[in-house]
A and B are shown apart, each in its own frame.
Chain A
Amino acid sequence: MISDITIGQFMPGSSFIHKLDPRMKIILMTAIIVFIFVVKNLLSLGLMSGFVVLSMLISRIPLRMYFKGLRAIWFLVFFTATLNMLYIKGEHAVFQYRSVTIYEEALWQSGFIAIRLVMIVITSSMLTYTTSPTDLTAAIERLLAPLKLFRVPVHELAMMMTIALRFIPTLLEETEKIMNAQKARGADMESGGIVKRAKALIPILIPLFISSFRRAFELATAMDCRCYTGGKGRTRLNVLRYRFRDFFAFLLMGGLCAGIIYLNTLAPALVR
């Protein structure tokens, strides 16, 4: 049950998107998310969604995986869309019932918001589905490297991320073990109100914390034994290298951005 959590799940493959340099993927994803908000009318929205759908197909990740990722945010999408619909005032009322008036502008706005949220989630899951965690942390380390000038411990942060990713499954497994052990001793975790259930978590969290500290200590010793002394003078097994396809993807992205800005001027903006 706990292991159902699929955040950042990597699905190995050999599609064009899988093969892109992880740094390029992060840059492109950021650009897409920014431009999702630049989109102002149906023409540019069409271009953007077309691009996102096309990349979904190119990634060769089963579409149901994307829907699985969306399941967690349906409520958020629905909630923001409804709020927007009810509270945005405009000039053309399309619907009126007692004190509730829904305007045409509000409908557009909430529709756009919903589509934007969905596209953001799809693009970011595409990044994690097609990039291995190690590649992702390596890319983050490299992209953030300039921050070292401002004394940001970039390498240490990346190392922390790697170790966290490495230990998520281990700790989940351990949590299940402790839960089962407590259940075997008669702990009741499934009934009662919120307060009672929260209290039932304490006997799970305390052993989990203690063992995590012990693990951390042992891991630190093991890392010492393997001559880890921080990021200085370290080399890497897999060196990141930009290839032709990365420049191609970059140009494509540039074209998309220009296209969106151009299409935005062709028709009146539907959202602010």
Chain B
Amino acid sequence: MEENITINPDNSTDGGEIQISLRDVYFEYESTDESPPKEVLHGISIDIKKGEFVALLGHNGSGKSTIAKHMNAILLPSGGKVFVAGMDTCDENLLTAIRRTVGMVFQNPDNQLVATIVEEDVAFGPENLGVPSEEIRKTVDEALKAVGMYEYRRHAPHKLSGGQKQRVAIAGIIAMRPKCIVFDEPTAMLDPRGRQEVMSAIDSLVRKLGITVVLITHYMDEAAKADRVIIINDGKLLMEGKPNEVFSHIDLLREHHLDVPQATELAQYLRSLGYDIPDDILTPEECAAAIMRAKK
């Protein structure tokens, strides 16, 4: 399975610098006494460009979290190569450099906060990198302001709501000034309000700070906000494209037990009844506008 691809991905771009590049990645969990080795990824190739907002979708067990963990060398591919800003993730000497470039936010906010005070936690990353104290202070304040948690800097994390904790976790990653942040189902454990808070924080990362974002989710509404949607099924790439292109394939998605955003579903249904509604509807607002137009 080993295909020796040694091209430096930075030189092989076609429009836009490539930040993360998975080249024909295979991955299997090591065998234990009870179970044989289980192959989770079967030859996945993905390129993520600088400043892009990519959503990775797939049902449970499709391998999407495994892909995420390849993006900052938490897992190393069993076959194929992963490059982060041109650095091979298999090279142990580059580990810190890679993790500085690609930060990661996980599902459970409780299990990623280290310190007993919000600002101390945000400072954890820069402290590890050996940034001088005065600079840490500045970075921490900026990071907390970027997620709207500056007023809570002296609070204890366990007294915050889920959405607030998750925003602190995001600030902790921003403080390391990464070029890219991978979110592994960041809203799965939050209530609707927390989801909203976290999604708007992610949105401002992409739009204001120009950070590349890879969002792994199973909420279609969240994926609809991305520039590009990648659908993973059984460790393989199923579909890839702009959200409206991808979600217009309702039947194919259904076949693989995936939903489409509710607005898209409604628009599609109305179309099938013969109404004049475009097939690339994503948000409730677009849908409402299209229905108004169709009525006239």
Q: Give chain A's interface residues, CB within 8 Å of chain B.
A: 12, 132-134, 162-163, 165-166, 169-170, 173, 215, 218-219, 221-229, 233-239
Contacts and interface: CB of A to CB of B under 8 A. Distances in A.
A51 B38 CA distance: 68
A169 B119 CA distance: 18
B113 A237 contact: no
A222 B112 contact: yes
B157 A166 contact: yes
B74 A227 contact: no
Nearest to B125: A226
B140 interface: yes
Contacts of A239: 133
Contacts, number: 98
Contacts of B60: none
Find the residue from B104, B116, B172 having the highest chain A CB count within 10 A.
B116
Given A226-B176, A237-B136, A134 B112 contact: no
Contacts of A226: 99, 103, 114, 124-125, 128, 172-173, 176
A233 B110 CA distance: 27
B116 A133 contact: yes
B123 interface: yes
Nearest to B106: A222
Given A134-B116, A215-B110, A234-B127, A225 B133 contact: no
B64 to A, nearest CB: 16
A187 to B, nearest CB: 25
Contacts of A227: 96, 99-100, 125, 128-129, 176
Contact of B111 (A162, A215, A237, A238): A215
A59 B56 CA distance: 54
Given A222-B106, A235-B133, A229 B114 contact: no
A218 B69 CA distance: 12
Contacts of A233: 130
A162 B156 CA distance: 13
Q: Provide the main secondary structure of the chain B interface.
A: helix
A37 to B, nearest CB: 33
A237 B137 contact: yes
Contact of A235 (B114, B115, B131): B131
Name the interface size band of chain B.
Answer: 35 or more
A173 B115 contact: no
Contact of B158 (A162, A173, A222, A225): A173
B115 A162 contact: yes
Find the residue from A165, A224, A237 having the highest chain B CB count within 10 A.
A237
Contact of A218 (B111, B120, B126): B111
Given A165-B116, A233-B130, A237-B120, A219 B111 contact: yes
B133 A169 contact: no
Given A134-B120, A235-B132, A219 B112 contact: yes
Nearest to B111: A218
B72 interface: yes
A158 to B, nearest CB: 12
B45 interface: no
B117 interface: yes
A170 B110 contact: yes
B123 A162 contact: no
Contact of A234 (B103, B120, B128, B140): B128
B108 interface: yes
A253 to B, nearest CB: 28
A222 B129 contact: no
A221 B108 CA distance: 12
Contacts of B116: 132-134, 162, 165-166
A134 B115 contact: yes
Contacts of B111: 215, 218-219, 222
A221 B74 contact: yes
Nearest to B140: A237
6 contacts: A12-B154, A162-B116, A225-B74, A227-B96, A236-B136, A237-B126
Interface string B219-232: 00000000000000
Interface string B229-253: 0000000000000000000000000
A228 B124 contact: yes
Nearest to A168: B158
